[in-house]
Amino acid sequence: MHYLIGERDCDGIARTLFAPGGAAAPLGDAANRASASRAYARFLAQLQPSIPMQPEFGVVLIDDSAFENAIIDAFYHESPLDDLPRYRDRTFFENGPEYRAAIAADVAWLDEAMSRFPVHDPAFWTSFGFFVNYILCPYSRYSRGGSDSAAIGALFISRPRSYSARDLYEILVHEFTHTVMFLDEQVDRHYADETLMAQPDHYARAAISGTARPLDKVLHSLVVATEVLLHRDHVLGHDGATMIHPPTPELLRNMALTIDSIRELAATICSPIAASTSSIAAPGLSPP
């Protein structure tokens, strides 16, 4: 959401949560960044106490199975909006002794690769270093990477050595956007009725996978897709090959289909309400 809503508003989401009424100094200011990072860590520790607190600015790359498992346990939390069986599959992650050497190599490679990114977009990577506390690299049976609303500030990248620099950049943008969206959901209640959203006949079309999913996943996919395109526009360009996200023309078409899908869902949900209220006139007025 760095380009979609702007650096200042991204900072404002966090400040609303941990320092309401506090100073609005930008996170690019090093002195403010240190104190803001400590306040952010205290907020997250209250919200998700099972995850160790990271009070310093910057991303910590994890190569420790016990530490990984503390975060992985949070990834497994259940929600009525879990629409895919893999969310409840306790073999989703693999990080046992037989994987430790490979994970250590992945973490070292990722650390070196990420060190080359900030020069391309310093403001974004400052925001990334504030909002993202931990990255872990367990093997995953299902996914290249991910984040979770029960483990805000943590994300995983599986087998990062298999990605090009562009793919890695885009997957980090992708998960950063989810992270800020999770925080915005803490500020404002985005969804009025999760039980209704969990019903398959209220699903819409996701922008990246193209599959029918609950509305929260669909909105996340639309925001992520928008942010990926904006990063291509500002930094990466639109011509490079990528295996993480579709090419720009395809992604644009998918986003248009998603918007249409959301509109169709809104019409379906709202039409019975409109029909039931169409004959109600305001005081002193006659119905048309």
Reported as a single tens digit per residue, the pLDDT across 30-88 is 667 888 888 889 999 999 999 988 888 999 999 999 999 999 888 887 776 676 666 56
Which DSSP string do the residues of 87-110 spell out, in sequence order? GG-TTSEE-SGGGHHHHHHHHHHH
Return d(Cα 267, Cα 265) in angstroms, integer. Answer: 5
Domain extents in the chain: 26-188, 190-271
- Cα distances from 223 to residues 15, 100, 217, in angstroms, run 21, 35, 10
Does 272 score more than 90 pLDDT? Answer: no
- Cα distances from 113 to residues 106, 117, 235, 281, in angstroms, run 10, 7, 16, 63
270, burial (CB in 10 Å: exposed 0-12, middle 13-18, buried 19+): exposed
List beta partners, residue 155. Answer: 135, 147
Does 170 score more than 80 pLDDT? Answer: yes
The per-residue pLDDT for 14 is: 78
Return d(Cα 180, Cα 261) in angstroms, integer. Answer: 24
Where does 113-229 show beta strands of DSSP type E? 134-136, 139-140, 145-147, 154-157, 204-205, 212-213
The per-residue pLDDT for 81 is: 67
The highest-confidence range among 1-15, 155-169, 207-221, 263-277, by mean pLDDT, is 155-169
Return d(Cα 81, Cα 59) in angstroms, integer. Answer: 29
Nearest to 68 by CA among 92, 93, 45: 93
Return d(Cα 54, Cα 74) in angstroms, integer. Answer: 16
Return d(Cα 129, Cα 264) in angstroms, integer. Answer: 38
